[in-house]
A = this chain, B = another copy of it.
């Protein structure tokens, strides 16, 4: 008789052998305890405890299909916006006893693909992701293979995929209009790469607002591409300072982390905000209101975004497309506060 090696995990048949029953019975104890007589059930449970048996998920999954698990892929785990979304998802998933696994793509399409594959291999029911590219073919393929897919924070370009988004064009336009209303005639837009959909949309929103105000976007808008984090903001701010003209400048940041970097740099350099430079952020993260110079920002229903995405995943019906509306929160950094 092969001695079960010290290192190997106990399997269901080890339990069965120890308890003197068949594997089928052990499985029944695990999944349908009522169908097993009290006496045998106790024997089996004792054996399980003795061997510290934990069922092998891969085997179960192979047999059964998939588990009540969802995956989320965000662009940057260190951005509070995304973690708030994740929190919203968790809150919804918890209601149905699903579990959420989170991964961060770092805006890298390859990492994103790897995680999609990983999640699929792990048999998740569905995936919510903030895509790092415009390409949805992989997602459609995934969807066809039976994995539910919800696009996060961007509308779905195809009817097959569900999506939950906030109107980025409108949000960016609001922010731009606000700065124009403060008397600025030129805007600097610290944006991320436009391959990211939100960045493209926010750019479009700014352009639209300028055009609507009768300004030529080519003249009135300068877009600077920076990394989507505080360092990116610092980098953008340095670039601005390098060619200081003395005239007031209006800076629109693609998110609050970038704005944080900008404010940090301007403060170090002793630049007056909003006098010399007006700053607007995007996302209205927790700390936006509490900064040295409270930050004007575009608020998004972050938690609801995640909640709704998870809801679509769990309900899994038709591919809905939900769009929320953002809201401008004016504070001191833009010079518009009372």
Which residue of chain B has the shortest Cβ distance to A122 in the bound complex? Answer: B122
Which residue of chain B has the shortest Cβ distance to A84 in the bound complex? Answer: B78
How many copies of this kind of chain does the complex include?
2
Given known A-B contacts A52-B145, A141-B52, A267-B290, A57 and B102 have beta carbons under 8 A apart: no
Chain B CB within 8 A of A264 CB: yes
- Check if B121 sits within 8 Å of A54, measured CB to CB: yes
- Check if B121 sits within 8 Å of A60, measured CB to CB: yes
- CA of A286 to CA of B256, assembled, Å: 12
Interface SS majority for chain A: helix
Min CB gap A117→B, angstroms: 7
Q: Which of B102, B141, B260 contacts A77 (CB 8 A)?
A: B102
Chain A 81-125: CB-based contact to B (< 8 A → 1; otherwise 0):
001101100100000000111111010000000110110111100
Chain B CB within 8 A of A9 CB: yes
Chain B CB within 8 A of A80 CB: yes
- Interface members, chain A 246-294 (any B CB < 8 Å): 257, 260, 263-264, 267, 286-287, 289-292, 294
Min CB gap A107→B, angstroms: 13
Q: Which of B55, B104, B115, B292 contacts A291 (CB 8 A)?
A: B292
- Interface members, chain A 48-77 (any B CB < 8 Å): 52, 54-62, 69, 77
Interface size class of A (residues with CB under 8 A): 35 or more
Which residue of chain B has the shortest Cβ distance to A9 in the bound complex? Answer: B145
- Check if A69 sits within 8 Å of B118, measured CB to CB: yes
Given known A-B contacts A145-B9, A263-B290, A291-B292, A114 and B87 have beta carbons under 8 A apart: no
- Check if A118 sits within 8 Å of B99, measured CB to CB: yes
- Check if A52 sits within 8 Å of B291, measured CB to CB: no
Chain B CB within 8 A of A315 CB: no
Chain B CB within 8 A of A7 CB: yes
User: What residues of B have a CB within 8 angstroms of the CB of A58 in the complex?
Assistant: 57-59, 61-62, 121-123
Which residue of chain B has the shortest Cβ distance to A100 in the bound complex? Answer: B103
Chain B CB within 8 A of A157 CB: no
Given known A-B contacts A80-B80, A145-B9, A286-B260, A115 and B90 have beta carbons under 8 A apart: no
- Check if B87 sits within 8 Å of A115, measured CB to CB: no
Given known A-B contacts A122-B57, A260-B287, A102 and B102 have beta carbons under 8 A apart: yes
- Check if A120 sits within 8 Å of B83, measured CB to CB: no
Chain B CB within 8 A of A33 CB: no
Given known A-B contacts A77-B83, A83-B78, A57 and B121 have beta carbons under 8 A apart: yes
Min CB gap A260→B, angstroms: 6
- CA of A264 to CA of B114, assembled, Å: 41
Chain B CB within 8 A of A222 CB: no
